[in-house]
Amino acid sequence: MADADLIVPVPLPWWRPFRRRYNQAALLAVALGRDTGIAMAPNLLQRRRGTFSQGRMSRAGRLRNVRGAFAVRQTQTARLAGRKVVLVEDVMTSGATVEACARALRRAGAARVDVLTLAHVVLAQQ
């Protein structure tokens, strides 16, 4: 966090905040920004298209599901250029979502993307 320039939460599908009434990743990012003084950019990333629920998908299925689903808003690319970004996600399972988000951030000009999650799901080996 010491050299981070920007905190960016993983965006939810447009309908999910209406169902949950909150966005966990955004709430974590706001608290992190407040506690560190690092700028928070809640709308920098967007979902370009809907994705299916990934609960029962394999890692390969999850990667296919989120491929190309995230992008940096055109109006925000200048803010991202050369910056070191902390991408915030509430729970990481396979890493497919944060990988897709990080790829979009790097393609738009981020110098580095680190990921901070509250929890990481560990799946039992079959």
Model pLDDT for residues 12-25, shown as the tens digit of each residue = 765 454 555 667 88
Q: What residues pair up with 40 in beta bridges, in sequence order?
A: 7
Confidence of residue 3 (pLDDT cuts 50, 70, 90): very high
CA 51 to chain CA centroid, Å, is 14
Query: Looking at per-residue confidence, does 93 or 102 come out higher?
Result: 102
Instruction: Place 124 in a pLDDT band, splitting at 50, 70 and 90.
Output: low
DSSP for 50-70 reads -----TT--HHHHHHHHTT-E
Task: Sketch out the chain's domains with CATH numbers.
Answer: 6-120 (3.40.50.2020)
Confidence of residue 94 (pLDDT cuts 50, 70, 90): confident
